[in-house]
Amino acid sequence: MSMVLLIDSTMSKVLAKMHRVRSLFLAMVMLPAFSTSTGLNTCEQHVEVCSLVEELKARVYSILALGGPCQHEELDGAVNEVFNFKEMARFILGTHWKAATSEQRQRFTENYEQHIRNLYVMQLKRHANHKMKIMSVRRKGGDFYSLRVRLMNPEQRDDFVILEFHVTRSDSGLKIDDIKFNNSVSIAISQRSVVDSLIQKRGIEGAIERFAKTTPSFERCSELSARHGDEQRQAADESK
């Protein structure tokens, strides 16, 4: 089996419960408010951390509700703003980071970053209509936070998944570094293991080439507009 397909299947398997439901309206009206209970592990004490995740979910709803040809690009932008993909790429490259040249690091980061962004966009679209409840948020030392949420299918209450967002504060603000599923499966750690196996077999250059070849691309809105304009001009010329 292709190592990159295995990476994709890892993401899909841990989110197998998160099926798309039919009613966007149901999910939107059930968006959770911040917890009003007291204590150290609630959104009342960590409003900014909770806002990061809730605003992402609300933005995804809005993008999908509006639809249109720019949907994937807008979701890609939403994900890129809140996930620290460059640090993810460095962590996932693991011990190979030191062995790689600066040029290899840059190319690996660029290709892997687009690969993982596409995976997150796919999963956001898949479970966009699930009801989200923030269960707890903890500061785990320094500028590191752990936020646990429950995503539930509003039509099937026993169809749910627990996500734990690992959030870090840096000079650029709060960013998501990793997500753990059902208290066990970490995306970053599982992918680090798979990427290490890929590099052991193919080398760093082979891994870079594989991500470059297998990561799907999408046409950006500016390209769509330019192509549409060219088609209109061509049609006008042909009608003369």
Has residue 23 got a pLDDT over 50?
A: no
Q: Which residues contact 163 (CB under 8 A, 6 or more apart)?
A: 148, 149, 150, 151, 179, 180, 181
C-alpha span between 86 and 89 (Å, rounded): 5
The domain in which residue 29 lies consists of 3-239
Q: What whole-number percentage of the chain has pLDDT above 70?
A: 73
In our burial notation (b when 16+ CB lie closer than 10 A, e otherwise), range 168-191 reads beeeeebbbbbbbbeeeeebbebb
Q: What is the reported pTM?
A: 0.72
User: What CATH code is carried by the domain that includes residue 108?
Assistant: 3.10.450.710
DSSP 129: T
Q: Is 175 helix (H, G, I), strand (E, B) or coil?
A: strand
C-alpha span between 153 and 127 (Å, rounded): 9
As given in the structure block, the two tokens for residue 128 are 């966009």
Helix (H) or strand (E) holding 156: strand 156-170
How many folded domains does the chain comprise? 1
Which pLDDT value is given to residue 26?
31
Q: Is 203 helix (H, G, I), strand (E, B) or coil?
A: helix
Each residue's pLDDT tens digit, 147-194: 999 999 888 888 888 999 999 998 889 999 999 988 887 888 999 999
